[in-house]
């Protein structure tokens, strides 16, 4: 297991952090873009399917979100080629859940209730157990 190999722990953590940061940035940009664009059904009714597609694809925030999601995907591919799947996949997925809750509160001004924060604490505890 690469976590137990000397020098691999920091490399694994760095790869997982890159995945999590890029995925969270992508999620925040896409959510922000879609809120700014509005209801796609209304846009589609007014301007047709092409108008709805142009509204989405013309948003810089949406394009930025897709860019960060692509970076996250390629970071995941890189990590899987250098570290154990049993560490990278669960750690990156669960930590993305935690960082999405934090980013939603800070950047999107969402109401993140106590139940979600408690879930995030349990996720962090699970990742800590996984890394041991």
Residues 67-79 have pLDDT tens digits of 999 999 999 999 9
Mean pLDDT score across all residues of the chain:
90
Cα-Cα end-to-end distance for the chain: 11
Structure pTM? 0.86
Closest Cα to residue 100, out of 86, 115, 112, 90?
112
Residues 108-117 have pLDDT tens digits of 999 999 999 9
Per-residue confidence (pLDDT) for residue 2, from 0 to 100: 43
Q: Report CA 75 to chain centroid distance, whole Å.
A: 12
Per-residue confidence (pLDDT) for residue 7, from 0 to 100: 56
- What is the extent of the structural domain holding 104? 2-131
């Amino acid at each position: 297991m690469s976590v137990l190999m000397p020098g691999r722990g920091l490399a694994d953590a760095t790869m997982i952090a890159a995945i999590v940061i890029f995925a969270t940035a992508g999620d925040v940009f896409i959510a922000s873009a879609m809120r700014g664009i509005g209801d796609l059904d209304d846009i589609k009714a007014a301007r047709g399917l092409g108008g709805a597609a142009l509204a989405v694809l013309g948003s810089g925030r949406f394009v930025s979100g897709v860019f960060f999601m692509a970076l996250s995907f390629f970071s995941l591919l890189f990590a899987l080629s250098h570290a154990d799947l049993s560490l990278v996949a669960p750690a990156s997925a669960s930590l993305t859940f935690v960082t999405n809750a934090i980013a939603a509160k800070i950047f999107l001004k969402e109401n993140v209730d106590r139940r979600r924060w408690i879930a995030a604490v349990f996720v962090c505890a699970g990742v800590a157990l996984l890394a041991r």
